[in-house]
């Protein structure tokens, strides 16, 4: 098993991502292919006293796609970028999965154009995993690959997200919910109302509509299906809500007197644990589902630990044959006529 | 000045809402018209030793539109509901504003059909006010009135939200932002990309796209413009994010030993203040902008204090002539050709 890692396109320096790759390679007992400028990667390997070889190899790339690059243009013009070279290497069978903390739009466009879609999948979706307060997880799909989907696209997000939750994350029978603004069937915009009907008619374990205020606390479903624009807003707003509370709390303790300061000191371990619970980085990358290959998108600010977690996600997806299972699920649909 | 209050359609008992109306009537020195079942209102007034009269009057209604009623049908069939009777009384000039904590969809449909729209406004929008961590406020419009808007509708939300922020909330020169999934112009779905262009070409103080992760913390703009579906998801997800943190924090303190428990005890005033800061109820109701009349929607769980705050919003909107200012803003647009 070899996972390819784009070490150039993230916000953090390549050496940090190489460290994450080495750690994951050792811990998971797999090969890692680092994609990027060879001299930079070699120097990072040297620092860790690692020799280039089959265990830790280098796939050379001279260009970098930055976070601000327009995706379609970047994919077209930066053919020798680490992001695209990684996807091309994956497509050529030089790896079992690819991880990039780079420009999400470019990963999506590059993957569709280079790897193609899984037979039957109309559009890919990015599936992110969030921790719930009961120590479980919830998968949200799509969080940004397809921003103007049709109701039918949402149906395929549901199938792919359910397969990911079951086959990779180990949720036995994932309940699927539709992100909406009320739980009654009449609620929502046209897209969501139509998708509701399609989901109800499908063979998927559809549990109805869910709302943003209790997804992490009540854990009503295991997979939340939404339009990529809405899913991205959802994700960022969740972060906004939590960071607002943390801000206010810190300010409250800072403003207080001796008693408050002492209280803050005594609760320090609780605050530290809270920060750890809220750190989505732990949960690693978000797979781009629906393309012909295991592609995992890491957060732009991914550090060594986050990139190692994303590599773990790619490894599991590759070893359970997630894409084959998705393809089988779609074939099964064909037969039952839904 | 008289504000009409629907005391039947909320989640809390009418007596609670009557108490809120009495408090607001006294504090703001205005008349209150309670809309609902007379016997119920009278008994609530009796409890507070208030005599029915011009100061605190009753507008009789025998029916109640529940939260689960389908809006269009409810408005058509429950003609004698407190919600609809209040809107009709407002339309007939028996009040200067109307407040309802009831079925949002029914308030929107009832207001459009009964009061009509402000000349030139294509669709109404609900403007909610959120507290920022720097003790300011941010207006979000629309949060649920128009779930399938066009780019042009968003342009009018921007104008109305800006007027509300300036004329009612006292923000001197409100900066307007478009809720998006990135700050570059190329980001977003078709609706948002087109709206971006319209906003840029307009005479409004447009500051570009904003994202959900820092609206309350960085306070980048004073007015956030969005599609009603996305705005409603935004609002509920913000609540979801804050409540997840509060849950985790409480669990962390509960699980801890003596030191942690003592820390929790010492920080109790900070936690209490935090709860107060996060209570959106304080910020009262959300006006339905774009209809011919001052209509303020309260949270379904509005208690006496929340309903009093919503009455305060209605009073200020009425006294500054908000709808006239919005109409003038639109006329001005006509002249400058934007």
Give the Cα separation of A166 and A325 in Å (integer): 10
Percent residues over pLDDT 90 in chain A: 78
Residues of A in contact with B256 (CB under 8 A): 269-270
Q: Which residue in chain B has the smallest CA separation from A147?
A: B189
Say if the Cβ atoms of B245 and A184 lie within 8 Å: no
Q: H or E stretch including A236?
A: helix A228-255
Of the candidates A248, A259, A260, the beta carbon closest to that of B133 is on: A248
Of the candidates A235, A253, A270, the beta carbon closest to that of B256 is on: A270
CB neighbour list of residue A137: distance below 8 Å, 6 or more residues apart: A129, A130, A131, A165, A169, A171, A222, A283
| Whether the predicted pLDDT of A34 surpasses 50 | yes
Cα distances from B19 to residues A338, B11, B25, B26, B124, in angstroms, run 55, 15, 10, 11, 30
pLDDT digits (tens, 9 = 90+) for B277-291: 777 655 679 999 999
- Give the per-residue pLDDT at A332: 87
Q: H or E stretch including B141?
A: strand B137-141
Mean pLDDT of A105-116: 97
Mean pLDDT of A145-159: 97
Please say whether the beta carbons of A187 and A180 come within 8 A: yes
Contact with chain A for residue B212, Cβ under 8 A: yes
Say if the Cβ atoms of B243 and A278 lie within 8 Å: no
Mean pLDDT of A264-278: 84
Please say whether the beta carbons of B210 and B178 come within 8 A: yes
| Whether the predicted pLDDT of A282 surpasses 60 | no
Question: Mean pLDDT across chain A, nearest whole number?
Answer: 93
The alpha-helical segments, DSSP class H, found in chain B are 14-28, 38-47, 71-77, 82-91, 104-115, 151-163, 190-201, 228-255, 258-266, 268-278, 304-319, 322-336
pLDDT band at A184 (very low <50, low <70, confident <90, very high): confident
Q: Which among A95, A98, A146, A91 is positioned nearest to A115, based on CA atoms?
A: A91
Q: What angle do CA B44, B50, B55 make, to 5 degrees?
A: 110
- Give the per-residue pLDDT at B283: 62
pLDDT band at B271 (very low <50, low <70, confident <90, very high): confident
Report the residue count for chain A.
338
- Structure token digits, residue B299: 């949270």
Please say whether the beta carbons of B101 and B14 come within 8 A: no
Residues of A in contact with B301 (CB under 8 A): none
Say if the Cβ atoms of B266 and A248 lie within 8 Å: no
Residues of B in contact with A106 (CB under 8 A): none
Residues of A in contact with B241 (CB under 8 A): 216, 237-242, 244-245
At residue B210, the 3 state secondary structure works out as strand
Contact with chain A for residue B68, Cβ under 8 A: yes
What distance lies between CA A143 and its chain's CA centroid? 9
Contact with chain B for residue A258, Cβ under 8 A: no
- Give the per-residue pLDDT at B195: 97
pLDDT digits (tens, 9 = 90+) for B133-163: 898 999 999 999 999 999 999 999 999 999 9
pLDDT band at A306 (very low <50, low <70, confident <90, very high): very high
Tell me which of A103-107, A281-285, B82-86, B115-119 is least confident.
Answer: A281-285
- Structure token digits, residue B138: 């941010």
Q: Which residue in chain B has the smallest CA separation from A183?
A: B68
Contact with chain B for residue A184, Cβ under 8 A: yes
Best A130, A213, A259 member to test B by mutation, with max B CBs in 10 Å, is: A213
| Whether the predicted pLDDT of B120 surpasses 90 | yes
Please say whether the beta carbons of B87 and B53 come within 8 A: no
Give the Cα separation of A334 and A264 in Å (integer): 59
- Give the per-residue pLDDT at A280: 60
- Give the per-residue pLDDT at B282: 54
C-alpha atoms less than 13 angstroms from C-alpha of A61 in its C-beta half-sphere: 28
| Whether the predicted pLDDT of A185 surpasses 80 | no
Contact with chain A for residue B258, Cβ under 8 A: no
- Give the per-residue pLDDT at B18: 97
Which pairing describes strands A125-131 and A137-141: parallel, antiparallel, or unpaired? antiparallel
Residues of B in contact with A186 (CB under 8 A): 70
Residues of B in contact with A246 (CB under 8 A): 245
pTM of the predicted structure, to 2 decimals: 0.94
CB neighbour list of residue B109: distance below 8 Å, 6 or more residues apart: B71, B72, B75
- Nearest-CA distance B27 → chain A (Å): 30
Contact with chain B for residue A238, Cβ under 8 A: yes
- Nearest-CA distance B41 → chain A (Å): 30
Please say whether the beta carbons of B99 and B3 come within 8 A: yes
Say if the Cβ atoms of B214 and A133 lie within 8 Å: no
Tell me which of A136-140, A193-197, A275-279 is least confident.
Answer: A275-279
Residues of B in contact with A181 (CB under 8 A): 144, 147, 229, 232-233, 236
Inter-chain CB pairs, A–B, below 8 Å: 192
- Structure token digits, residue B244: 């997840």
Contact with chain B for residue A213, Cβ under 8 A: yes
Cα distances from A246 to residues A54, A242, A252, B19, B65, in angstroms, run 45, 6, 10, 35, 39
Say if the Cβ atoms of B245 and A240 lie within 8 Å: no
Q: What angle do CA B164, B165, B169 make, to 5 degrees?
A: 100
Contact with chain B for residue A67, Cβ under 8 A: no
Residues of A in contact with B282 (CB under 8 A): none
B143: left (phi over 0), alpha (psi -120 to 50) or beta: alpha
| Whether the predicted pLDDT of B338 surpasses 50 | no
When mean pLDDT is compared over A157-171, A279-293, A296-310, the highest value belongs to A157-171
Q: Give me the domains of chain A, ranges plus CATH numbers.
A: 1-121+290-338 (3.40.718.10), 125-280 (3.40.718.10)
Give the Cα separation of B68 and B72 in Å (integer): 12
pLDDT digits (tens, 9 = 90+) for A314-336: 999 999 999 999 999 999 886 54
Tell me which of A185-189, A305-309, B290-294, B308-312 is least confident.
Answer: A185-189
What is chain B's Cα-based Rg? Answer: 21
Tell me, what DSSP letter sits at residue B65? -
Residues of A in contact with B269 (CB under 8 A): 256, 260
- Give the per-residue pLDDT at B335: 56
- Give the per-residue pLDDT at A337: 42
Say if the Cβ atoms of B263 and A265 lie within 8 Å: yes
Residues of B in contact with A263 (CB under 8 A): 262-267, 270
Q: Which among A85, A118, A119 is positioned nearest to A102, based on CA atoms?
A: A85
- Structure token digits, residue B152: 């042009």
Mean pLDDT of B55-67: 96
Say if the Cβ atoms of A256 and B278 lie within 8 Å: no
- Nearest-CA distance A30 → chain B (Å): 35
- Structure token digits, residue A254: 């800072």
Of the candidates A147, A181, A248, the beta carbon closest to that of B229 is on: A181
- Structure token digits, residue B185: 């112009």
Please say whether the beta carbons of A142 and A178 come within 8 A: no
Residues of B in contact with A240 (CB under 8 A): 212-217, 238, 241
Please say whether the beta carbons of B83 and B276 come within 8 A: no
Q: Which residue in chain A has the smallest CA separation from B259?
A: A266
Percent residues over pLDDT 90 in chain B: 78
The 3-state secondary structure of A58-79, one letter per residue:
EEECCECCCCCCCHHHHHHHCC
* Backbone φ and ψ of A44, nearest 5°: -70, -35
Edge-first strand listing for the sheet containing A97-100 = A56-60, A31-36, A2-6, A97-100, A295-297, A286-289, A125-131, A137-141, A223-225, A176-179, A206-210
């Amino acid at each position: 098993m070899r996972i390819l890692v784009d070490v150039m396109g993230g916000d953090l320096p390549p050496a940090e991502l190489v460290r994450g790759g080495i750690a994951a390679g050792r811990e998971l007992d797999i090969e890692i292919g680092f994609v990027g400028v060879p001299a930079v990667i070699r120097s990072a390997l040297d620092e860790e006293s690692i020799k280039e070889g089959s265990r830790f190899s280098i796939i050379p790339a001279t260009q970098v796609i930055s976070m601000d690059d327009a995706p379609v243009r970047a994919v077209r013009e930066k053919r020798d970028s680490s992001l695209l070279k990684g996807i091309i290497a994956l497509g050529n069978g030089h790896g079992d999965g690819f991880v990039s903390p780079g420009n999400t739009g470019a990963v999506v466009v590059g993957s569709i154009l280079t790897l193609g879609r899984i037979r039957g999948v109309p559009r890919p979706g990015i599936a992110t995993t969030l921790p719930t307060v009961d120590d479980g997880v919830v998968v949200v799909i799509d969080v940004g690959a397809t921003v103007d989907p049709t109701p039918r696209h949402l149906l395929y997000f549901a199938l792919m997200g359910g397969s990911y939750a079951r086959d990779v994350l180990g949720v036995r029978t994932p309940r699927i919910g539709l992100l909406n603004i009320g739980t009654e069937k009449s609620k929502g915009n046209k897209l969501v109302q139509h998708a509701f009907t399609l989901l109800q008619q499908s063979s998927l374990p559809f549990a109805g509509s869910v709302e943003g205020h209790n997804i992490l606390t009540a854990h009503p479903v295991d997979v939340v299906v939404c339009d990529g624009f809405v899913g991205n807003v959802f994700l960022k707003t969740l972060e906004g809500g939590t960071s607002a509370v943390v801000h206010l709390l810190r300010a409250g303790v800072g403003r207080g007197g001796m008693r408050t300061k002492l209280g803050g000191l005594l609760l320090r371990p609780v605050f530290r644990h809270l920060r750890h619970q809220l750190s989505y980085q732990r949960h690693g990358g978000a797979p781009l589902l629906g393309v012909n290959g295991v592609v995992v998108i890491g957060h732009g600010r991914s550090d060594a630990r986050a990139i190692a977690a994303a590599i773990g996600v790619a490894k599991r997806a590759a070893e359970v044959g997630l894409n084959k299972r998705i393809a089988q699920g779609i074939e099964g649909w064909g037969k039952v006529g839904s």
